[in-house]
A and B are shown apart, each in its own frame.
Chain A
């Protein structure tokens, strides 16, 4: 067995791959949970801010270092694995919706006392914005395949702008509702409304984060199709989930 002999040979002392970034990132996440705990369990704001101050650089630095190191590797497989990750993500939404259905279907009265009329026009506008952004990222990918770097970057930036606009509208609406006295503590519907739109919004934010992480290397000419295909898939998922949010939360 020649392979076996080679395995025993000099290569046993070869260099082992390492990366510091996963380690850094995990500490950032630990600090984030501690920050939450200090603030909301122990009401110690200063230590909580300090923990947050430690956490965010670790997380952002970890992500930046990681993407810098790994951008362009693992091309072929990331798209397929994103599909599995999306399955897990979808289940988070399913559980939140389940909590909502449970409460709503068993409630003796609906809307619950204390609920307010939600705006109807704004969610439609938000839907249009998000759907458009799905098309623009698709367009961007098209230019990526044509190796047209400047058009590609341009369309990605448009997508980012649309995503930001979406978040802006969402923030505007939250602000408006909170001023009307409808908060996350009002009743089950308030709880569900803010949790589900917030959960979705955080996914938009993560999607934008992925775009931003990729757009700088892209400007420098590091176009990695695998990365963008995967990022695009995630973005489409965020878009599709929004349809459920709109139909269940706003128009039911």
Chain B
């Protein structure tokens, strides 16, 4: 293997694999942070560290790295890069060099995030970086800013690249309505990235300006306003959850189709109602993260309604998912197991978002462990399981080998059980006791001692599940049994080339017949 052809590669598949390596590494680092946090919280009072700042740095590294370093790059970086050109029958993306640039910018962002662990004054602004705290802390807010900026810039140029690719480089005969659902979801996701990431970038940059250059954007004594930041931040960071959500739905939708040998149920409703419905509504709901900041009534009520309305496009996609199983011929290999797990976890996570959307319920729930439980269900575990189901799914294509099924299933059981143990308990203590999040010590809540222990045990269970999974991948990549070109018997275009595909993907660009569709399964 030629190292130079990997590091300097401009090939979308290799760029995708670089993204995968980087984002899984980020996941492991951030996951270890989670374990440290859980250990700290397992008992009242100082446990692992006597310094609350240390805990806050872990929490910062956990939240920021999980979202910016793991999920967004794994979905819009790895999955998009690996699968999109193959699914649309293109040789590569529109701008291969730009693509290489974005993966390396992402790595630079990860390097900055990792500097957190070596500098004397690590950032402790949590993943949200609210001023005034972020402008007066002795922690290094600039590092937070630049981590966000580099990774954000990487995804802007990736967005430009992929939108162009999908719009202009589809194979002959591949019309819009024949695209894999995953392609649509990535398109929607990147449109959102282009609109919203610049806003986040500006917000975090202005925080550093305020702190280091003496500007007054968020300083009320000089005419600024602290809430400006929160509005800008959530104007991006709410859509960001759908940037994660759309591609993960895309992955499991395609997996559902492949493993039940069916077309997607009501494809057009899921695409035009689901994906584009979300793209359109997602920009008008950010206030639901500011329900307890004193925003004006008309905004809170208005965005309560828009937030609730998100359940319509999401519901349409959910119906498509469930309906795809109908009259199918379903098999339960590991990718499908993970996808089904995603589906169940997502139902819990999505539906527990409904009370949060109701502003009058959120005045009690906001910033408690109920919220933490909600977003871990929907993002941390549903999202991660979807990403990993995608890795399992494309693993034979990437490596030419199969993942070990038995260990895949064992890993799944650990992950699924652990996830529910931790995050159900979280929602419970959030509602019942009102336990606030971002607490280094829960001394005021002695009644949650038992639950805290349960959650810590759950985190070990889920950790074991992920550890088995990673080990299984590494071993299977080296020793797994050889996979054919199309081990899942899928109709989708990426399975028509060799495993792993050569540079350029197909010797000749594929031309599609009139009745071709990625979901055209013959009645068996």
**Is A in direct contact with B (CB under 8 Å) within the complex?**
yes
Residues of chain A whose beta carbon lies under 8 Å from any beta carbon of chain B: 1, 3-4, 6-9, 11-12, 14-23, 25-27, 29-30, 33, 36-37, 40-41, 66, 69-70, 74, 76-78, 80-81, 84-85, 87-89, 91-92, 94-96, 98-99, 102-103, 106-107, 112, 184-185, 187-192, 195
A92 contacts B497, CB within 8 Å?
A: no
Residue B382 interfacial (CB < 8 Å): no
B binding-site residues for A, Cβ under 8 Å: 2, 4-5, 7-11, 14, 94-98, 100-101, 104-105, 107-108, 111-112, 140, 142-143, 146, 149-150, 156-157, 159-161, 163-164, 167-168, 194-199, 201-203, 206, 209, 212-217, 219, 222-225, 227-228, 231-232, 235, 485, 496-498, 501-504, 506-508, 510
* Cross-chain contact A184 with B213 (CB below 8 angstroms): yes
Is B161 a contact of A81 with CB atoms below 8 Å?
yes
User: Are B228's CB and A99's CB within 8 A?
Assistant: yes
In the complex the two chains form, is B201's CB within 8 Å of A92's CB? yes
The residue that B197 contacts in the complex, of A18, A25, A88, A189, with Cβ under 8 A, is: A88
CB closest chain-B residue, reference A28: B108
CB pair A41 B142 closer than 8 Å: yes
Interface of B, helix, strand, loop or mixed by DSSP: helix
**How far does the alpha carbon of A85 sit from the alpha carbon of B190 in the complex, in Å?**
12
Residues of A within 8 A of B112 (CB): 30, 33
What chain B residues lie within 8 Å of A11 (beta carbons)? 502-504, 507
Known: A77-B168, A81-B94. A99 touches B498 (CB 8 A): no
What are 26 sample pairs from A and B whose C-beta atoms fall under 8 A apart? A3-B507, A3-B510, A6-B508, A7-B497, A7-B498, A11-B507, A16-B2, A16-B11, A16-B503, A19-B10, A19-B100, A21-B97, A26-B107, A27-B104, A37-B143, A74-B95, A81-B94, A88-B156, A89-B198, A92-B202, A102-B231, A103-B223, A112-B223, A184-B213, A190-B216, A195-B217
> Could you say which residues of chain A place their CB within 8 Å of the CB of B160?
81, 84-85, 88
Interface centre among A20, A22, A188, by most B CB within 10 Å? A22
Number of inter-chain CB pairs below 8 Å: 206
| A218 shortest CB reach to chain B, Å | 21
B164 pairs with A84, CB closer than 8 A: yes
Within the complex, the shortest CB–CB distance from B109 to chain A, in Å, comes to 9
| A41 contact from B7, B140, B150, B501, Cβ within 8 A | B140
Question: Which of these, A25, A78, A107, A184, contacts B215 with CB under 8 Å?
Answer: A184
Residue picked from B9, B195, B215, B224, most chain A C-beta under 10 Å: B215
Whether B194 pairs with A188 at a CB distance below 8 angstroms is no
Complex: A98 Cα to B161 Cα, angstroms: 28
**What residues on B are CB-neighbors of A76 within 8 Å?**
168
Cβ of B10 and Cβ of A17 under 8 Å apart?
Answer: yes
Instruction: Report yes or no: A95 in contact with B111, Cβ–Cβ below 8 A.
Output: no
A98 CB to closest chain B CB (Å) equals 7
Contact A37 B142 (CB under 8 A): yes
> Among the listed A77, A98, A185, A191, which residue makes an inter-chain contact with B95, where contact means beta carbons less than 8 Å apart?
A77
A94 to B203, CA, bound (A): 11
Residues on A with beta carbons closer than 8 Å to the beta carbon of B11:
16-17
CB <8 Å contact, A87 and B216: no
The reply to whether B199 and A94 contact each other, CB–CB distance below 8 Å, is: yes
- Contact across chains for B168 and A88 when beta carbons are under 8 A apart: no
Complex Cα–Cα for A6 and B163 (A)? 30
Whole-angstrom distance from the CB of A150 to the nearest CB of chain B? 31
Chain B residues with Cβ below 8 Å from A4 are: 485, 496-498
Q: Are A98 and B231 in contact (CB under 8 A)?
A: yes
Name the residue on B nearest A33 (C-beta): B146
Q: Which residues of B contact A84 (CB under 8 A)?
A: 159-160, 163-164, 194
Select from chain B the residue with minimum beta-carbon distance to A9: B507
Q: Which residues of B contact A107 (CB under 8 A)?
A: 223
> In the complex, given contacts A41-B212, A80-B168, what are 17 additional A-B residue pairs having Cβ atoms less than 8 angstroms apart?
A4-B497, A9-B507, A16-B2, A16-B503, A18-B9, A18-B10, A19-B97, A22-B98, A25-B101, A66-B97, A70-B97, A81-B95, A84-B164, A184-B215, A188-B216, A188-B223, A195-B215
Q: What residue of chain A has the Cβ atom nearest to residue B154's Cβ?
A: A26
